[in-house]
Amino acid sequence: MSRGNEYGAGTPDFGTDHAVPLLQQVLGAALGMDVFVVVVDLTLAIRVPAMAPLDSRSRDSVDTAWVAVADLAARLG
């Protein structure tokens, strides 16, 4: 999931991400699907000049997501 902001622990907006919990509820709880969430935060940092100071954190988030996706792919086969 791509997010223009960041909602992880220790961030000012922690606990205000309504997209991931909704998907987990609908796809996981209601439909019984296994849900694996990989997020990329601060995706707007490379496009919005006011967010330019967050660019390195955005790139770190992308790198972390690639590792998580590769790990998930290996586990799921």
pLDDT at residue 8, as a whole number: 87
Q: Is the dihedral of CA 58, 59, 64, 70 positive or negative?
A: positive
- For the segment 1-7, the average pLDDT, to the nearest whole number, is 89
pLDDT at residue 32, as a whole number: 96
Give the pLDDT confidence of 14-68 residue by residue, as tens digits: 989 999 999 999 999 999 999 999 999 999 998 999 999 999 999 999 999 999 9
pLDDT of 2 over the 90 cut: no
Euclidean distance between CA atoms 37 and 39, whole angstroms: 6
Higher pLDDT, 69 or 8: 69
pLDDT at residue 77, as a whole number: 87
